[in-house]
Amino acid sequence: MSSKRYTEEFRIEAVRQITDRGHPVAEVAARLGVSVHSLYTWRKRYAKSGPAQAAADDQAAELRRVKSELRRVTEERDILKKAAAYFAKQSG
């Protein structure tokens, strides 16, 4: 049974692909050529936990909320532009 040694940077990046980017563990394991068991072990060791993870989750939720609001406001602006052009054409 051969045991490969991976650098800490490699392990942290593999964990980031799972935690930050949301890729499935099995997919990352297959792509990187490591065992699923190793990835779960690395995730326990290197994944953010507690307050750091809560802060990251809060930031992600805020970003989703702001993007949603931006999309809504952009749609409203586009509708108002079309209405202004329509009424300008009607009065002119």
pLDDT, tens digit (0-9, with 9 covering 90-100), for 9-32 = 899 899 989 988 889 999 999 999
**C-alpha torsion sign, points 13, 15, 16, 18:** positive
User: Using an 8 Å Cβ cutoff, are 11 and 46 in contact?
Assistant: yes
**Quick one: what percent of the chain has pLDDT higher than 90?**
60
User: Using an 8 Å Cβ cutoff, are 40 and 50 in contact?
Assistant: no
For residue 1, the model assigns a pLDDT of: 44
For residue 62, the model assigns a pLDDT of: 94
- Is the pTM for the entire model greater than 0.75? no
pLDDT, tens digit (0-9, with 9 covering 90-100), for 43-63 = 988 877 667 777 877 888 899
Cβ within 8 Å of residue 14, ≥6 positions away: 6, 28, 32, 34, 39, 42
